[in-house]
Amino acid sequence: MNQTLERWSSRRAFILAVTGAAVGLGNIWRFPYITGENGGAAFLLLYVGFVVVLGLPVMMAEIMIGRAGRRSPMQSLAELARQRGTSSHWKWLGLFGAFTVFCILSFYSVVSGWSIDFMVKAFSGGFAGQSAPQIGAGFDAFLADPLRMTLNHTLFLVMTMVVVAAGVAKGLERLNNLLMPALYLLLIVLAGHAVTMDGFGPAMAWLFTPDFSALTPMVLVHAMGHAFFTLAVGACALMAYGAYMPDHQSLPGAAGAVAVLDVLVALLAGIAIFSVVFTQGMDPGEGPGLVFVTLPVAFAELPGGPFWLGLFFLLLLLATWTSSINLAEPMVSTLVGWGLSRRMAALAVGLCVWLVGLLCVLSFSSLSDVHLIGEMNFFGVVSTIPPEIFLPLGGLLIAIFAAWVMPEQEALRALDAGPNGFRVWRAVVRWVSIPLVLVVLFSGLL
Ligand code: PHE
Ligand code: NA
């Protein structure tokens, strides 16, 4: 990627690539269970609000830096800082981002592996005729089997690193073009089916009638972190994609389209999943297993259920694949920037992530009661702190860099929304996004 002028083949391809990074476990796995743990509608409203006033403007900031620098994140940051005549230490922000995605990928790969296992099980009829409690027990048995989990984690990571080793821009584009619409369609069918369930009414009420009385600073922190996580913002991962962005494409339009789609996917998943939860009298706050238990139950009622369930997990797998490729890219391009070949870099990153992932695997069996912070075991820590603390911190620094540090002319050009659009964006980032991240992080600390 070093100073190359390779570009995405079209504007649409850029939007599809960013969507590929954005839509993933965050929407279909993390959104429902975090919303469930935080009480529903109030959390949902906060999260959407944070997407609008934080996620979206900072996403633009992040892509702008890559687009103006046209290099790897660290190099872009260093170059733009140099142009402005300030410290080149800003480049370490790129390294912090790489560390963040490293942590995220280590649990992301493990959970994505679950959908491999579930896909195979569904296609082979393993869920046929099972009741909700049986499906729940099957999931618990799966979690308690570190070998099976490790196998799937390994498979998923190999899939990811092979694409990364071959270079990002090419393979990804085609895959995204082809398959994501099918996932959206299937989610629409599922949400449509949910309308016929007894739990649909209660689910809608629970999702869309906010009760702010139970609001705590920690709920704010969770909602903010999830807004960054789901949009893939704050780790310089999208910065790397910005370097490939074509000229003459307005950034607010592209980023807005991605954010709308990302929120829609989460909402559809939420409607489908919580309708099952309320129909079956399950607990919305049941945690990371929520999706993997409710969806098999939902599909069991549909004609051809096992096939459609298998297809769903296949498409979820593809969605998480494009996200994890984006997660791996910052680390690999950093190592490439330090002189490693792409293949060696992908291999090294893959091995390290694999090892840390093993700790996540064991967090569901032998290490489950090893509490590191409060009640959180290793998986709890690594799936909470990087998304909810590191991403907002990275996003904060990215926002400061884009709105205060990088040369104004470069920023104006990279946003590509005219002088007035630029002024609006900068005012929002300077006076809303940056103070808001600080306030939420501090209120969470206290
Ligand atoms: N946005 C992805 C998801 O929702 C996760 C992600 C986070 C990807 C950070 C890249 C960077 O699943
Ligand atoms: Na997402």
Q: Which domains does the chain have, with CATH numbers?
A: 11-445 (1.10.4160)
Does the beta carbon of 24 sit less than 6 angstroms from any atom of ligand 1?
Answer: yes
Question: Tell me: the pLDDT tens digits for 349-386?
Answer: 999 999 999 999 999 999 999 999 999 999 999 999 99
Average pLDDT over residues 87-97: 94
Q: How far is the CA of 400 from the centre of ligand 1 (A)?
A: 22
The more confidently predicted of residues 62 and 286 is: 62
CA-only gyration radius of the chain, Å: 21
Whether 323 lines ligand 1, by a CB cut-off of 6 Å, is yes
Q: Highest mean pLDDT: which of 142-146, 177-181, 244-248?
A: 142-146
**pLDDT number for residue 172:** 62
* Higher pLDDT pick, 391 / 241: 391
- Ligand 1 center from residue 395 Cα (angstroms): 14
Q: 229: CA distance to ligand 2 center in Å?
A: 7
Residue 373: strand, helix, or coil:
strand
Q: Tokens 């704010």 sit at which residue? A: 220
Q: How many percent of the chain have pLDDT more than 90?
A: 77
pLDDT at residue 2 tops 50? no
CA distance 314 to 182: 11
Can you say how many angstroms the Cα of residue 65 is from the centroid of all Cα atoms in its chain? 20
Q: Is residue 8's pLDDT more than 80?
A: no
Residue closest via CA to ligand 1's atom 6 equals 232
pLDDT at site 230: 98
Contact 324, 160 (CB under 8 A): yes
How many whole angstroms separate alpha carbon 222 and alpha carbon 441? 10
Please give the pLDDT value at position 3: 42
* Ligand 1 centroid distance, CA of 123 (Å): 27
Euclidean distance between CA atoms 310 and 152, whole angstroms: 16
The confidence score (pLDDT) of residue 1 equals 40
Strand partners, 376: 373
41 has a pLDDT exceeding 70 = yes
Q: If you average pLDDT over residues 72-78, what whole number do you get?
A: 92
Instruction: Collapse the DSSP code of 376 into the 3-class scheme (helix H, G, I; strand E, B; otherwise coil) and give the result.
Output: strand
Average pLDDT, the chain: 92
For residue 438, what pLDDT is reported? 98
pLDDT of residue 337: 84
Residue 431 pLDDT: 98
Phi, psi of 409 (to 5 degrees): -60, -40
Pocket flag, ligand 1, residue 236 (CB < 6 Å): no
Q: Is 25 in the pocket of ligand 1 (CB under 6 A)?
A: yes
Residue of 370, 294, 324 whose CA lies nearest to 36: 294
Residue for token pair 């103070």: 435
Of 285, 236, 258, 305, the closest CA to residue 72 belongs to 236
**Pocket lining: 332 vs ligand 1, CB cutoff 6 Å:** no
Rounded Cα distance, 148 and 114, in Å: 9
Q: What is the mean pLDDT of residues 171-189?
A: 79
pLDDT band at 171 (very low <50, low <70, confident <90, very high): low
Q: Does 383 sit in the ligand 1 pocket, CB within 6 Å?
A: no
Q: How far apart are the first and last CA of the chain?
A: 42
Question: Is ligand 1 within 6 A of the CB of residue 229?
Answer: yes
